[in-house]
Amino acid sequence: MNLLDPHRKILETRDFTVSNEIFDLYANANENILITQPQPALDKLPNYYSSEDYISHTDASFSVFDKLYQMVKRYMLKKKAKWIENLNLSGNRILDIGAGTGSFLQFMSTRGWDIDGVEPNQKARALANDKGIKLQNDLSAIKRQFDVISLWHVLEHLPALPEQLEQIKKLLHKNGKLVIAVPNYTSYDAQFYQSFWAAYDVPRHLWHFSPDGLISLLKQFDLKLVKIHPLKFDAYYVSWLSEKNRTTKNPFKAFWVATKSNYKAKRTNAYSSLVYIFESI
C-alpha cells in the first residue's frame, strides 16, 4: 500500500501567505497522513516561496515578532545540538537538508561537527555563504555518507517524497540517525484552528503527518524510531500565525490556545510539532 496516495477528502484550506488559492487535504487509506491536493508542478513550486513573510529564508529582526522568533531560534539551536550529541554516534558528520540561511550548520560547526548542507532557495544559500557556510542546491550533489541527517521542518516540503527518502537512506551510515521535525495535525491547536491552522501552509507543505503516519512511512525505508521530542514553542508561533489567518490577530487567544495545546500534550504527546529521531537499520 502506498501511504502517500490520497484517499478521502478531509478539509479545504487556503494559501494564506502568497496566492490565496484553495487547496484540499486528503487522508491516505490508513487515515494517518494528509496529502495536499492539487500539488503544484515542480517548476511552479518556487513561486509559492516568494513572500518576504517566509521567515525560514531570512534572518530579519525588524519587528517584535521577528526579534522573538530569532531569540527562540538561538535557544533552540542549543537544544537541537544537545539532542543530537546525546545520541550514540560513531562519527561527527552531519548533513542538514533544507538548511535555510545556514544557522544550524554554523552552530554545529562551532561544536566541532563536519558539516554539509542542501538548500534549494538561492537567496537563502547566498545568506548562508555570507556566514561562510557553502550549501549545495540539490541532494544529488552530496556524495558522501553521514552519521546524522537532519530535516528541520523540511520533510513536509519535499516533492517526490519516496524517491527522496530512498536517497536520504543511502546517505546514512548504518546505525546513522535521521532527525526529522514536522508539524503534528493531531495536536489541539490544529483541531482548534481547523482550516486556518498555519502549519498546514499549503501548498508549500505537500504532506502532513500524524506520529503513526510518519513512523509507518519511515519503517518502509528501514528506519526505526528511537526517540520523540516535543517542540513546545511551535504551538505559540503557529497559533499566532493561525490568528493572522483568521484576521482576528488576537495574541491573547493565540497564547491561550498554544498553552492549552501544550498542557493537553503532556498526557497525549500530541504537541504542535515533534522531533523524531530514527536509526538506519
* pLDDT of amino acid 58: 57
Interior/surface letters 246-276, b for 16+ CB within 10 angstroms, e for the rest: beeeeeebbeebbeebbebbeeeebbbbbbb
CA pair distance 196, 262, nearest whole angstrom? 19
Distance CA 88, CA 90 (A): 7
Tell me the per-residue pLDDT of 38-66, one tens digit each, with 9 for 90 and over: 999 999 999 998 876 664 545 655 677 77
Q: What is the pLDDT of residue 69?
A: 77
**Do 239 and 258 meet the contact criterion of CB atoms below 8 Å apart?**
yes
Supply the pLDDT for residue 55: 47
Q: 0.85 cut: is pTM over it?
A: yes
pLDDT recorded at residue 54? 60
Q: What is the pLDDT of residues 192-229, one digit of tens each?
A: 999 999 999 999 999 999 999 999 999 999 999 999 99
Name the stretches of the chain with pLDDT < 50.
Answer: 55, 57
Q: Give the type of residue at 250.
A: N
Q: What is the pLDDT of residue 240?
A: 94
All domains of the chain, ordered by start, with CATH? 8-280 (3.40.50.150)
Given this model, what pLDDT does residue 87 score?
96
